[in-house]
Amino acid sequence: MKNHLIDFIDISKSYDGNMVLDEFNLYVRENEFVTLLGPSGCGKTTTLRLLGGFETPDTGKILFDSEDITNMPPNERKLNTVFQKYSLFPHMTIAENIAFGLKIRKKSKSYINDKIKYALKLVNLEGFENRSTDSLSGGQQQRIAIARAIVNEPKVLLLDEPLGALDLKLRQNMQYELMRLKEELGITFLYVTHDQEEALTMSDTIVVMNQGYIQQIGTPEMIYNEPENAFVADFIGHSNIIDGIMIEDRLVEILGVRMPCVDEGFGTHTPVDVVIRPEDVELVKPEEGALSGEVVSLIFKGVHYELEVMANGYEWLVHTTEYVPVGSKVGIRVIPFNIQIMHKPESSDEKAVEIDE
């Protein structure tokens, strides 16, 4: 196993008595693209600011390459931050913006010029040295902000919702640019977003957060296909989350119907949350389904149709490539493997996962 590059150990942080992070533990390995994902106020930006040195934890410590950096000033840390607001200097040319950090470090003129050319080539903006920042589009400004961070050769690049101000097409292009840069530069990325698609597209590891706690850590595939709890299932994509009773191993009852599943170890007659993704709901003839209902809504989404099907008192969300008009009588079938069973949390902010190394 690769050594940890970053360790957050028992970090707590509150503002005006409001706990934002509560005994937070997380490690990041070298050359990983780790995304902190969660709703506003979950503590993800605070985590980034603590690592960047812009905030100090109330308790706990932060290690970087096994060195305690908890109280180290930001300029001494081997990392750079790219913010959503690009923070470019409007009175400087692009070359001067990129060179800013290098000049502070008293690098030679030839070194700085080489670095400017290298950075602009990396972000596909060669020849832009003498342009002013306000002549650039949003996407170009963001790439300059990234170039300015890259020339300092940080071991870690911190990105705080850096694509939030861009339109959809530009955002998607920048996602691929960031993935390419990560591969070419071999540096560690710690990325903050509330955009699930961004997290699923770019990350090696996703850390799902809510109310100061880590809800789940895993690969994008694991987070999507095997959510740890109902919060993760609902936050990552769309889900049908239904109250169920685990009758016994591999048998669950939902909406009055018993359905085979693959989960074990929940006990007998135990209340559980049952998660079924809309693309895993199969529509069949009414008599062939485990339960039957009626299509009450239909929206064309381009790649698929999004249906709402009222069955056994529950409005199912269904994604299908087949056109099924409103008013159609249908059956609902789900194969056992696509039925995810999870414990019901004791409270909405229950810490859902303990981090094992």
CATH number (domain holding residue 319): 2.40.50.140
> Which range marks the domain in which residue 268 is found?
238-343
Q: How confident is the model at residue 113 (pLDDT cuts 50, 70, 90)?
A: very high
Residue 353 has pLDDT above 80, yes or no: no
Same-domain status, 214 and 267: no
Question: Which two structure tokens, joined as six digits, stand for 116?
Answer: 């400017």
Residue 33 has pLDDT above 60, yes or no: yes
Q: What's the mean per-residue pLDDT of the chain?
A: 92
Per-residue confidence (pLDDT) for residue 139, from 0 to 100:
84
Residue 40 has pLDDT above 60, yes or no: yes
| DSSP for 20-69, written as a single string | EEEEEEEEEETT-EEEEE-STTSSHHHHHHHHHTSS--SEEEEEETTEE-
Per-residue confidence (pLDDT) for residue 173, from 0 to 100:
83
Is residue 47 a part of any domain in this protein? yes
Q: How confident is the model at residue 354 (pLDDT cuts 50, 70, 90)?
A: very low
The one-character DSSP state at 231 is H
Same-domain status, 108 and 213: yes
Per-residue confidence (pLDDT) for residue 347, from 0 to 100:
57
Same-domain status, 37 and 139: yes
Per-residue confidence (pLDDT) for residue 138, from 0 to 100:
85
Among the candidates 202, 225, 248, a domain finishes at 225
Among the candidates 225, 246, 278, a domain finishes at 225
The one-character DSSP state at 132 is B
Among the candidates 170, 192, 225, a domain finishes at 225
Residue 252 in contact with residue 261, Cβ under 8 Å? yes
Q: How confident is the model at residue 357 (pLDDT cuts 50, 70, 90)?
A: very low
- Buried (b) or exposed (e) across 101-122, using 16+ Cβ within 10 A? bbeeeebeeeebeebbeebbeb
Residue 338 in contact with residue 344, Cβ under 8 Å? no
As a whole number of angstroms, the longest Cα–Cα distance in the chain is 78
Is residue 357 a part of any domain in this protein? no
Is residue 270 a part of any domain in this protein? yes
Per-residue confidence (pLDDT) for residue 349, from 0 to 100:
52
Q: How confident is the model at residue 355 (pLDDT cuts 50, 70, 90)?
A: very low
Same-domain status, 16 and 100: yes
Average pLDDT over every residue of 200-229:
95
Task: Express as a percent the part of the chain with pLDDT over 70.
Answer: 96
Specify the pairing of strand 59-64 against strand 67-68: antiparallel
Q: How far apart are CA 203 and CA 216, in angstroms?
A: 14
Per-residue confidence (pLDDT) for residue 345, from 0 to 100:
78
Residue 273 has pLDDT above 70, yes or no: yes
Q: How far apart are CA 188 and CA 181, in angstroms?
A: 11
| DSSP for 165-204, written as a single string | TS-HHHHHHHHHHHHHHHHHH--EEEEEES-HHHHHHH-S
* Integer CA distances (angstroms), 246 to 51, 61, 254, in order: 43, 42, 9
Specify the pairing of strand 156-160 against strand 205-210: unpaired
Question: Which two structure tokens, joined as six digits, stand for 97?
Answer: 């913006």
Same-domain status, 198 and 320: no
Number of domain units in the chain: 2
Is residue 142 a part of any domain in this protein? yes
Residue 171 has pLDDT above 90, yes or no: no
Is residue 261 a part of any domain in this protein? yes
Average pLDDT over every residue of 241-268:
97
Average pLDDT over every residue of 14-38:
95
